[in-house]
Amino acid sequence: MSNLRGKHIVLGISGGIAAYKSVMLLRLLVKAGAEVQVVITPNGKEFITPVTLSALSGKPVVSEFFTANTGEWHSHVDLGLWADLMIIAPATASTIGKMANGIADNMLITTYLSAKEQVMVAPAMDLDMWRHPSTQRNIETLKRDGVIIVEPEAGELASGLVGKGRMEEPEGIVKAAEAYFAKTASLTGKRVMVTAGPTFENIDPVRFIGNYSSGKMGFAIAEEFASRGAEVLLIAGPVSMEVKGEGIKRINVVSAREMYEAAVSNFDGMDYVVLAAAVADYAPETVSESKIKREGTDEMVLKLVKNPDIAATLGSMKTTQKIIGFALETDHELENALHKLKKKNLDWIVLNSLRDPEAGFMKDTNKITIVSDTGMELEFPAKRKTEVAKDIADVVAGK
Ligand code: CTP
């Protein structure tokens, strides 16, 4: 049985010759048990009639913002909430360009811009258009935005030319959709703990020692594991971020000591533990109960004591858990990362270098190298943190 059964799919069709193949794609999706809502661009309707599409999908086709005779408003926001997957096939060069740049001049693009679900695109165009730097740039942008690209095939094109640009066959697109849903369920039944954000170590009721960690990387990891069906426990330091997605339980902590206690007491029964938090290594030995006054002292000495090492403690407690640590280094990066991995008894360590302009605190992007306990190194290009989270999940938990 196909894993598309019962899934809600928005099928976006833009105006290219390959639109005729969308009829077959629609049929295959419906046959596999999916509920499909077609959204077509005005140009798409020049190639294929909405009557055929609504007959096959069993739903009126959405094309305009309003239905002319009834004045009914089609809500792209509702579609975004309803859908489990959006497939745009064919995606013309123009549609791809609009998607990459947020030009929302038709219902298909507004639906794309408010999509909460994964979006998959099957481009179709002539080989010169496909090869054009502008198209390639837009495709790269979409990839960075998390869109899955079903690469066009090489072959005979509608223009009579031979080359890359022909839309993937409907069967291939269905396979890509099935592969996506297989991945979303691949960690069902697994339990994952993620630490994220900074820790704050109080000095007095109004001051603390902290760091610039935003929590973005850890939150993206929690969301990625949850999107694959895992039950996630997110132990978050003081950050203002909200976590998105179902299947995530959040414990908020402030200090390293609190994070340590939450992590140690929940470690048992976990399958994966990802330690993305930037934990303060030291905390003031005593916390003043009242605000420390400026008057009367020209100097101030704070005595700091070492915080417990969460990673090393969990590493020593580990039975079947896989532990993934992070290392943010400025020099001798690989050497230091591998040393941390061994010392803390981790299974993987994710290295990011502060020297890299696209890596580090408060950024939306990161550039990582994943190192395994056998010394295997996997280097990735700079990507958005949501995409980096996918690479980490792929490597540590399998594709
Ligand atoms: N870590 C932890 N508890 C601590 C310190 C670090 O769990 N008290 C974890 C981090 O979440 C990270 C890994 O250990 O996954 C490495 O953190 P890092 O600060 O780079 O390591 P340190 O051992 O503190 O080394 P350094 O001297 O470079 O700060």
Structure confidence at residue 72 (pLDDT): 67
pLDDT digits over 208-243, tens only?
Answer: 999 999 999 999 999 999 999 999 999 999 999 999
**Cα-Cα end-to-end distance for the chain:** 21
* Residue-wise burial string across 91-106, b where 16 or more C-beta atoms lie within 10 A, e elsewhere: bbbbbbbbbbeeebeb
Tell me the best of 201, 321, 323, 340 to mutate to test the pocket of ligand 1, counting ligand atoms within 8 Å of each CB and taking the most.
Answer: 340
- Residue nearest ligand 1's atom 24 by CA: 281
Record the tokens describing residue 77, joined without a space: 């926001």
Percent of the chain beyond pLDDT 70?
Answer: 97
Question: Ligand 1 center to residue 277 CA distance, Å?
Answer: 8
- How many Å apart are CA 280 and CA 253, to the nearest integer? 13
pLDDT classification of 343: cutoffs 50, 70, 90: very high
Is pLDDT above 70 for 328?
yes
Is pLDDT above 80 for 354?
no
- Residue nearest ligand 1's atom 12 by CA: 326
- How many Å apart are CA 211 and CA 95, to the nearest integer? 42
Give the position, in ligand 1's atom list, of the atom nearest the Cα of 328: 20
Query: Are 8-184 and 191-396 equal in CATH topology?
Result: yes
Give the position, in ligand 1's atom list, of the atom nearest the Cα of 325: 15
Tell me the best of 264, 279, 304, 349 to mutate to test the pocket of ligand 1, counting ligand atoms within 8 Å of each CB and taking the most.
Answer: 279
- Residue nearest ligand 1's atom 20 by CA: 327
Is pLDDT above 70 for 29?
yes
- Residue nearest ligand 1's atom 4 by CA: 309
Question: Ligand 1 center to residue 279 CA distance, Å?
Answer: 6
pLDDT digits over 258-299, tens only?
Answer: 999 999 999 999 999 999 999 999 999 999 999 998 888 888
Give me the active site residues, please: 211
Q: Are 284 and 304 in contact (CB under 8 A)?
A: yes
Is pLDDT above 90 for 40?
yes
Is pLDDT above 90 for 309?
yes
Is pLDDT above 90 for 361?
no
Give the position, in ligand 1's atom list, of the atom nearest the Cα of 314: 7
- How many Å apart are CA 70 and CA 284, to the nearest integer? 68
- Residue 146 parent element (H or E): none
pTM: 0.80
Q: Which amino acid is at 19?
A: A
Classify residue 11 as left (phi > 0), alpha (psi -120 to 50) or beta: beta
Question: Ligand 1 center to residue 310 CA distance, Å?
Answer: 8
pLDDT digits over 162-211, tens only?
Answer: 888 999 999 999 999 999 999 888 999 999 999 999 999 999 999 999 99
SS3 assignment for 297-324: CCCCCCCEEECCCHHHHHHHHCCCCEEE
Query: Which class does domain 8-184 fall in?
Result: alpha beta
Structure confidence at residue 296 (pLDDT): 81
- Residue nearest ligand 1's atom 21 by CA: 327
Rounded to a whole number of angstroms, the CA Rg of the chain reads 25
pLDDT digits over 112-135, tens only?
Answer: 999 989 999 999 999 999 999 999
Q: Which amino acid is at 106?
A: N
Question: Ligand 1 center to residue 278 CA distance, Å?
Answer: 7
- Among residues 232, 236, 235, 243, which one has the least CA distance to residue 191? 232
Q: Is the peptide bond before 90 cis (omega within 30 degrees of 0)?
A: yes
Structure confidence at residue 73 (pLDDT): 66
Question: Ligand 1 center to residue 191 CA distance, Å?
Answer: 23
Percent of the chain beyond pLDDT 90?
Answer: 78
What is the residue extent of each domain of the chain? Answer: 8-184, 191-396
**Ligand 1 site, CB within 6 A:** 195, 256, 275, 277, 279, 281, 307, 309-311, 325-328, 340
Give the position, in ligand 1's atom list, of the atom nearest the Cα of 308: 8
**Of 247 and 234, more confident:** 234
- Only one residue has tokens 């291939």, namely 172
Furthest-apart CA atoms within the chain: distance in Å: 87
Give the position, in ligand 1's atom list, of the atom nearest the Cα of 336: 28
**Sign of the C-alpha dihedral, residues 41, 97, 148, 116?**
negative
Could you tell me what percentage of the chain is helix, strand and coil, using 3-state DSSP and rounding each to the nearest 5? 35, 25, 40
Architecture in CATH of 191-396: 3-Layer(aba) Sandwich (3.40)
Question: Ligand 1 center to residue 309 CA distance, Å?
Answer: 7
